[in-house]
Amino acid sequence: MAEKNRYLIFLGCAIPYRVAAYEISARRVLQKLGVELVEMPEFNCCGLPMDPVDHEMMLIMAARNLAVAEQRGLNILTLCPGCSGTLRKVNKMLKEDKKLRESINTNLDGVGLEFSGSIEVKHLVQVLVEDLGLEKVKSSVVKPLTMLRVAEHNGCHVLRPKESAGFDDPEDPKMLKSLIEVTGATCLDYMDESECCGAPSVGVNNKIPLQLTRDKLNHIKNVGAQALITICPFCHMMYDTNQGRIEKMFNENYGVPVLHYPQLLGLAMGFSPEKLAFGELRVDVSRIFSAQNSV
C-alpha cells in the first residue's frame, strides 16, 4: 500500500518546457493542503506522443515510469491529463493482462525494473476530490471568489476513453466544476463544454486545431465568463498562449484570461497573484481582479 498524502509528482514534458505557472501554483496549493510531493527519482516521457507511431514504445515508456514509482513505493500524481491518462491506462492494461505484463517486463528486466502493479496514478483533480475531499479543499478557502463567473475546460484525457479514464462522466463532468465552486466562484455551463481544444493535432495541421479553440472561445465568451479554468498544460497553451494568434487569424476579440485551476484555488486560499505565477500568463488577467475587488 502506498502512503497517504504523499505522492511522486510526475511533471511530464510540456510543463517544464512551457507551463511553469501550473507547476508553481499546484505545488503551492498542495503544500497548503498538507500533501507532500516527492520528485521522480528518474523520468522519461509518459509515452503518449509515441503511441500514434508505435504502440509498443508507448507501453514500455509508461511501464518504465510505473516500475520506477513502484520501487519508490508511492502513488503518482500528475498535473497533465495526457500523462495521467496514459499511465492510468497502461497501469490498468498491465495489471489485467498477464501475457502483456510478462512481455513488457522482459524489456524492463535488462535495467533492473519490474512492473508488479502495486501503485495507482491520479490526476491532480482526482487527488483533490477523491483523496483529500471537497470539504478539506473548501476549508482551505479564506477569500471566497464570490464575484467571479468562470467557465471550465477539462481536457479530453482526464475524461476519455471512459473505460480507462473512468473517474468522471465525460458527457457531464462534475469534478472540476465542484472544485471551482468550493472557491466561491460560479462555474457557468456553455455549449460543447467537454469538446477537445484541438492541441493534439497541432503538429500535423496548423489551422484546424486553432479553429477548434476559436469555437470554444466563442462559446465561453457568449456566456459571459470572466475567465476560463483549465487543468491541462496543452489546453492552456491553446487558450492562453495562442489566444492572441487566434484573435488575429479570425479577426476576433476575446480577452478571456485562462487560469490553471490551482491558480484559482490559490487566490481563494489567500496567496498573492505573484506567489501563484500570474505573471507567466499571456492573456491580461486584470479583469479578474477588477471583478473580485468590486465586492
Residue ranges in contact with other proteins by CB under 8 A? 11, 13-14, 16-18, 20, 23-24, 27, 39-45, 49-57, 60-61, 64, 107-108, 110-111, 113, 156-157, 160-162, 170, 195-196, 198-201, 203-205, 207-209, 211-212, 215, 277
195 close to 238: Cβ distance less than 8 angstroms: no
Between 113 and 231, CB nearer to other proteins? 113
DSSP E strands, the chain: 6-10, 36-39, 75-78, 121-123, 149-153, 186-187, 227-230, 258-260
- Nearer CB in complex with other proteins: 71/211: 211
* Alpha-carbon distance values, 155 to 65, 135, 159, 177, 197 (Å): 23, 24, 7, 13, 7
Q: Which is nearer to other proteins, 15 or 182 (CB)?
A: 15
C-beta of 29: minimal distance to other proteins in Å?
Answer: 14
Residue (of 253, 232, 236, 235) closest to 244 by Cα position = 253
Residue number, 51 or 247, with CB nearest to other proteins: 51
Taking the C-alpha atoms of 278, 267, 151 and 181 in order, what is their torsion angle to the nearest 10 degrees? 160
- Shortest gap between Cβ of 185 and other proteins (angstroms)? 26
- Cβ distance to other proteins smaller for residue 49 or 273: 49
Least Å from the CB of residue 65 to other proteins: 10
- The whole-angstrom separation of Cα 51 and Cα 54 is 5
Q: How far is the CB of 183 from other proteins (least distance, A)?
A: 23
CB of 177 to other proteins, least distance (A): 19
Query: 155, 231 in Cβ contact below 8 A?
Result: yes
